[in-house]
Structure 1
Amino acid sequence: MGRVSTTTTTTGEVTEHVLDGPHGDLRVRVYAVADGVTPVAGLVWAHGGGFMHGDLDMPEADLVARTLAAQGVVVASVDYRLCPPMDREDLEASAEPGGVRFPVAHDEVVHAFRWAVAADLGAPAGSWSLGGASAGGNLAAGASLRLRDDAAADGGAESDAGTQVPPSAPAQRTPRSTVLAYPVVHDGLPAASPELAEKVAALPEGRDFPPEVVRAMNDNYLGHDRGSESPYAFPGGTDLRGLPPTLIVNSDHDALRSSGEAYAAELAAAGTDVSLVREDGTFHGHLNQPDDPGCARSLARIAAWLTVDGLVGTAHEPPA
């Protein structure tokens, strides 16, 4: 099932897996816990980058994984396929056909979660959560919704992502929890609160996300014919009943915070246990900024969520 290579670092063993993914080779980097640390949880993680940038070496992927592994979390970091790059200064020039579009990256995150649960990676059975940052948070939220629906519909059959879950495999079909860092989960940004709107208005150029840029980024992910109406592309505003407990950590000075805040409210209204944090003083992408004190605070929050017994809530009633 693909290729494997392993290296050992001072923080623990890191293994590169190349899976036979739903759209070809899929690289997943697995971070084992350090020697002497007891594994208590697993996390499948997707970095951010507007669906078109990012890799497994960026701090938002590598630093996150190494930090959590040191706290007892086995991390499987997913190198999902990226959309074509978008020119922020010339949005129309970016509207070209072809390239990687939804549902490619979505399928790959779903596949990686199912693989991690079935593989012997060292995390306790039933402990796997699913998470991501920014665009990766979108992918994690959409994959969680897809896994919920597939578990309800097929009772263990092969999914349309092509990942066979054998009857003898561990019974975990859906994430123990979902961890979303400053996610973009709505096709169009919800209205900002007055407090957030004031902060967004003060953002310097390059740190802001004007509506036209968000629209172009989402078009780039969906494809410019906007042919998909799937709830798995942008799960905000869809049926969220029966999803696992969710932690959302938003950046403070960030237009995309309105999406994370609205999604938390939607999850709560759907009966899902949710914890929402605004990391004070941070800007979008603060997990990719190791020198920002907010990065360390957020990583500590995520580690506690995954490792402190009883902190995560319960998955409640599934959708009818």
Structure 2
Amino acid sequence: MTDDVDIRRMPLRDALRWLRENGEPIDPRPDIDTASLTQRFPRLAGVATHDLTVQSPHGPQPARVYRDAGAAVSGRALVWVHGGAFIGGYLDMPESNWVALELASRGIPVLAVDYTKCLGDVHHPVPSQDVLAAWGHSRTHAKDLLGVEADALLLGGASAGGTITAGVTAQLRDAGGPLPAGLVLVYPAVHPDGGHPGELPDPASPTTQLALNYAGSAEALADPQVFAGNGTGAGFPPTLIVVCERDGLRPSGEAFAAQLERAHVDVTLHLEPGADHAHINEPSDPTALPTIEAIADWIRR
């Protein structure tokens, strides 16, 4: 955020207008760039990055590859999608960049991808199609980009990124396309009102307002390809769901884990004690690294 503007405290309509007029706010933290992160976490020094663009039906989208040639090979790689309430977020935010650096340093190459934001004139399926394009690109170029076969690729995301990737997985399943080897969802909102899964969305809830802004219509709020929690989750790949003890969206992740279990999907639910929503966007948060370790351990198992 800038010193004088915090869009998180604005009504959604005002936040959308501000973002359209001004673009992504500058993050004031002085220690979240790659150089500062490497100084704080020397293990990240071996990670090499490469920026590229992925062609989507909606234009080129930024992406970044992370690989560490000196790390013990896990045999798997991850396509990773950051959050930002569907209206913000970018590749240099810690939830994208730091997470990818940490996983790559543990032998899990990462393709971090961006997507079109829903700023009033964009709704589903646009961000979803951007991520689908990145998924297709990663499969086509898996060996060259990430050093693994296409069938060793996992898909995952945090917050809004988790919502989108869960919906993309439902789309891939329904289309009969190749599914990810695994799905990683970190504090996702996979129900229209993430704080109250299974209930009719409360139109006054900020979470529901963001969900409607993403979905584009009340009808789309009920679509399992938009919010995967509307379905059973049957046919999903092995899935890790990370929820946070203090997160208001925790009920959505827990409910979806139960849905997947009922559908006989191999699902692991990891509760991060003491953590709140977006904790992996803050490298200094003592609960962040344990989540990174939990993700890496699950992927490597």
TM-score bracket for the superposition, by shorter chain length:
0.7 to 0.9
Please report how far the alpha carbon of residue 33 of structure 1 lies from its aligned counterpart in structure 2 after TM superposition.
Answer: 2.3
Amino acid at match of 1:275: T
Give the secondary-structure state (helix, strand or coil) at the position aligned to 2:275: strand
Structure 2 counterparts to residues 34-49 of structure 1, below 5 A: 34-35=69-70, 37-38=72-73, 40-49=75-84
**Matching residue of 1:284:** 277
Structure 2 counterparts to residues 7-46 of structure 1, below 5 A: 10-35=45-70, 37-38=72-73, 40-46=75-81
Is residue 222 of structure 1 aligned with residue 215 of structure 2? yes
Amino acid at match of 2:134: A
Question: Of the candidates 99, 102, 109, which is equivalent to residue 121 of structure 2?
Answer: 99
Question: Of the candidates 132, 137, 141, which is equivalent to residue 162 of structure 2?
Answer: 137
Amino acid at match of 2:148: P
TM-score between both structures, scaled by the size of structure 1:
0.74
Please report how far the alpha carbon of residue 190 of structure 1 lies from its aligned counterpart in structure 2 after TM superposition.
Answer: 5.4
**Matching residue of 1:121:** 145
Q: How high is the sequence identity, in percent, across the aligned residues?
A: 39
Asked which structure has the greater RCO (Cα within 8 Å, sep 6+), the reply is 1
Give the secondary-structure state (helix, strand or coil) at the position aligned to 1:148: helix
Cα distance in 2 for partners of 1:227, 1:210 equals 13
Gaps of 5+ in 1: 1-8, 85-97, 153-172, 193-208, 309-320
CA contact (8 A) 1:237 1:266 kept: no
Residues 1:231 and 1:191: Cα distance change in structure 2 (over 3 Å): closer
**Matching residue of 1:254:** 247
Cα distance in 1 for partners of 2:265, 2:58 equals 32
CA contact (8 A) 2:71 2:107 kept: no
Tell me which stretches of 4 or more aligned residues in structure 1 moved more than 4 Å.
Answer: none
CA contact (8 A) 2:223 2:230 kept: no
TM-score between both structures, scaled by the size of structure 2:
0.78
Please report how far the alpha carbon of residue 34 of structure 1 lies from its aligned counterpart in structure 2 after TM superposition.
Answer: 3.5
Give the secondary-structure state (helix, strand or coil) at the position aligned to 1:140: helix
The structure with more helix, counted as a fraction of residues:
2
Cα distance in 1 for partners of 2:180, 2:117 equals 24
Deviations along 1:4-46, whole A, 9 cap, x unmatched?
xxxxx83322111112212111111111224354352110111
Amino acid at match of 2:117: L
CA RMSD of aligned residues (A): 2.0
Structure 2 counterparts to residues 293-312 of structure 1, below 5 A: 293-308=286-301
Cα distance in 1 for partners of 2:54, 2:249 equals 32
**Number of paired residues?**
250
Cα distance in 2 for partners of 1:48, 1:20 equals 20
Please report how far the alpha carbon of residue 211 of structure 1 lies from its aligned counterpart in structure 2 after TM superposition.
Answer: 6.0
Mean Cα displacement is larger for which, 53-62 or 113-122? 113-122
Please report how far the alpha carbon of residue 236 of structure 1 lies from its aligned counterpart in structure 2 after TM superposition.
Answer: 0.1
Gaps of 5+ in 2: 1-43
Structure 2 counterparts to residues 189-200 of structure 1, below 5 A: 189=194, 191=196
Amino acid at match of 2:101: R
Deviations along 1:134-160, whole A, 9 cap, x unmatched?
0100011111111112226xxxxxxxx
CA contact (8 A) 1:252 1:279 kept: yes
Give the secondary-structure state (helix, strand or coil) at the position aligned to 1:31: strand
Question: Of the candidates 74, 78, 97, which is equivalent to residue 62 of structure 1?
Answer: 97
Structure 2 counterparts to residues 223-242 of structure 1, below 5 A: 223=216, 225-228=217-220, 229-242=222-235
Cα distance in 2 for partners of 1:36, 1:72 equals 5
CA contact (8 A) 1:109 1:143 kept: yes
Structure 2 counterparts to residues 152-231 of structure 1, below 5 A: 173-189=178-194, 191=196, 212-223=205-216, 225-228=217-220, 229-231=222-224
Please report how far the alpha carbon of residue 210 of structure 1 lies from its aligned counterpart in structure 2 after TM superposition.
Answer: 10
Amino acid at match of 2:175: D
Give the secondary-structure state (helix, strand or coil) at the position aligned to 1:54: coil
